[in-house]
Amino acid sequence: MSDWRSRALRPAKRALRRSQDRYPQSPPELSMDPRGGDQTTAPPAEESVVTSAIYRDGHRVDGPPSLSETCRRLREQPGTMAWIGLYRPSERQLLTVAEEFGLHELAVEDAIVAHQRPKLERYGGTLFVVLRAARYLDEAEEVDFGEVHVFVGANFVLTVRHGQAPDLTAVRRRMEDDPDLLRRGPEAVLYAILDSVVDGYAPVVGGLQNDIDEIETEVFGGDPRVSRRIYKLSREVIEFQRATRPLLDILHGLEAGFEKYGTDEELRRYLNDVADHATTAAERVNEFRQILADILTLNATLVSQAQNEEVKNLTEASYAQNEEIKRISAWAAILFAPTLIGTVYGMNFDHIPELHWVFGYPYAIFLMLLVCTTLYVIFKRRNWL
């Protein structure tokens, strides 16, 4: 392995060791999920090449069968441009390509590690751009994010894609159908990729808007599961915001270099149009985040009101139940008094009460009425009856 490859590998391996030490139970970020395994046994770089083509004056003139052949023919044919697309290359594969084009080791490390924030960096004569693409999955009602790294040199464009989005095959087809744009060089290809990424945001914005409308209906409908959906959608909006907000800085950075790097006038207009669309998408995402925060607050308020109403209903029911119990208790006491008197004086004696009283029986009746009336008046004054 050359000294250059050893230096490029060293920081990537350090990042891998740090990731493994910090998260021993999680798959390392370097593995890029679908690959993993031993990178030393990775297949040749050609197996990760989606398309490799050479263009002259906006037209495709060659499609070499291998990456090494593409590099050789590019050197042998002045005035041409190579456009190479890689999909989820392994560390070894990417280092092979980087050595062919003399890419900076820090940019290569970022492309190996992936999961980078969108950014724009210049390494000498090479422009390195990281973009986060997005697509809305209708069936799952969720946003799927992809990542593409673009290396732009004087006579080449190298794309490293991690994810299904964006569809760079469609971008290549579009550019090949427009030779006037393609002949403007590698920067035109970068514009087309930026345009594809930003255009892909529109369906995502529409899908998120529909989800928010549905959530608003569910909130006012009292659906108890809506809180979980609000939280999930908020996480997607935040992730989408992380993709769109740095993209504005990238476009502003390209715009700032128009004069210095002599960007074609037509490409300037195209990039300004992309910047307008990206700004619109970023503003909508900011609105979505604020709307979801308001919806979450509103939902919490409605839930609190519903809980307060339930507590109020329970309190009223408990109060009514207590009133009934008081009434029953009062009547029980009233009816218990005659029972007690009748029990004492209801024996089989002559002229009871107090044995042989001539007016004993009327006295017993009068005593029962007096006790019952007294209890009734007492309970009535206490509002038990």
> Which of the residue ranges 110-114, 130-134, 175-179 would you say has the lowest mean pLDDT?
110-114
**Could you give the CA distance from residue 229 to residue 216 in angstroms, rounded to a whole number?**
11
Would the pLDDT of 352 be above 70? no
**Could you give the CA distance from residue 133 to residue 158 in angstroms, rounded to a whole number?**
17
Q: Is residue 309 part of a domain?
A: no
Provide, rounded to the nearest whole percent, the portion of the chain with pLDDT above 70: 79
Residue 34 φ then ψ, to 5° = -70, -20
Q: 54 and 106 share a domain?
A: yes
Q: 363 and 261 share a domain?
A: no
Would the pLDDT of 41 be above 50? no
* pLDDT bucket at 375, cuts 50 / 70 / 90: confident
Residue range 146-161, pLDDT digits in tens: 889 999 988 889 998 8
Which of the pair, 19 or 255, is modelled with greater confidence?
255
CATH number at residue 135: 3.30.460.20
**pLDDT at residue 24 in the model:** 39
Contact partners, residue 113, CB within 8 Å, separation at least 6: 12, 15, 29, 30
Q: 300 and 353 share a domain?
A: no
Q: Which domain holds residue 333?
A: 319-381
Q: Is residue 311 part of a domain?
A: no
**Could you give the CA distance from residue 352 to residue 362 in angstroms, rounded to a whole number?**
10
Which of the pair, 51 or 232, is modelled with greater confidence?
232
Q: Is residue 191 part of a domain?
A: yes
Q: Which of 273, 304, 335 is the last residue of a domain?
A: 304
If one counts every other C-beta atom within 10 angstroms of the C-beta of residue 381, the result is 9
**Could you give the CA distance from residue 225 to residue 223 in angstroms, rounded to a whole number?**
6
Q: 343 and 247 share a domain?
A: no
Residue 36 φ then ψ, to 5° = 55, -160
If one counts every other C-beta atom within 10 angstroms of the C-beta of residue 372, the result is 17
Would the pLDDT of 128 be above 50? yes
Q: 163 and 297 share a domain?
A: yes
**pLDDT at residue 9 in the model:** 45
What value does the mean pLDDT take over residues 267-284? 88
**One-letter-per-residue 3-state SS of 135-199:** EEECCCCEEEEEEEEEEECCCEEEEEEECCCCCHHHHHHHHHCCHHHHCCCHHHHHHHHHHHHHH
Q: Is residue 312 part of a domain?
A: no
Would the pLDDT of 29 be above 50? no
Would the pLDDT of 101 be above 80? yes
Would the pLDDT of 22 be above 50? no
Contact partners, residue 39, CB within 8 Å, separation at least 6: 90, 91, 92
Would the pLDDT of 378 be above 70? yes
> Which of the residue ranges 68-72, 331-335, 351-355 would you say has the lowest mean pLDDT?
351-355
Would the pLDDT of 141 be above 60? yes
**Could you give the CA distance from residue 385 to residue 379 in angstroms, rounded to a whole number?**
6
Q: Helix, strand, or coil here: 120? A: strand
What value does the mean pLDDT take over residues 187-199? 90
Which of the pair, 261 or 313, is modelled with greater confidence?
313
**pLDDT at residue 18 in the model:** 43
What value does the mean pLDDT take over residues 345-368? 65
What's the half-sphere exposure (Cβ side, CA atoms, 13 Å) at 173? 4
The β-bridge relationship of strands 59-62 and 49-56 is: antiparallel
Highest mean pLDDT among 1-5, 43-47, 54-58, 381-385: 54-58
* pLDDT bucket at 40, cuts 50 / 70 / 90: very low
Q: Is residue 314 part of a domain?
A: no
**pLDDT at residue 151 in the model:** 92
Domain count, the chain: 2
Q: 14 and 116 share a domain?
A: yes
Q: Is residue 313 part of a domain?
A: no
Q: Which of 253, 271, 304 is the last residue of a domain?
A: 304
What value does the mean pLDDT take over residues 68-77? 82
If one counts every other C-beta atom within 10 angstroms of the C-beta of residue 211, the result is 22
Which of the pair, 318 or 173, is modelled with greater confidence?
173
Average pLDDT in the chain? 77
Residue range 308-345, pLDDT digits in tens: 777 777 877 787 787 778 777 777 777 777 776 667 66
Closest CA relative to residue 100, chosen from 24, 39, 44: 44
Q: 351 and 243 share a domain?
A: no
Q: Which of 252, 272, 304 is the last residue of a domain?
A: 304
What value does the mean pLDDT take over residues 362-366? 75
Q: 375 and 261 share a domain?
A: no
352: DSSP letter: -
Q: 190 and 60 share a domain?
A: yes
Question: How buried is 124 (Cβ within 10 angstroms: 0-12 exposed, 13-18 middle, 19+ buried)?
Answer: exposed
CA distances from 321 to 120, 315, 328 (A): 72, 10, 11
Would the pLDDT of 357 be above 70? no
Q: 256 and 361 share a domain?
A: no
Q: 37 and 140 share a domain?
A: yes
Provide, rounded to the nearest whole percent, the portion of the chain with pLDDT above 90: 5
Q: Is residue 225 part of a domain?
A: yes
**pLDDT at residue 355 in the model:** 60
Residue range 104-119, pLDDT digits in tens: 888 888 888 778 888 8
Q: Is residue 333 part of a domain?
A: yes
Q: 295 and 350 share a domain?
A: no
**pLDDT at residue 184 in the model:** 87
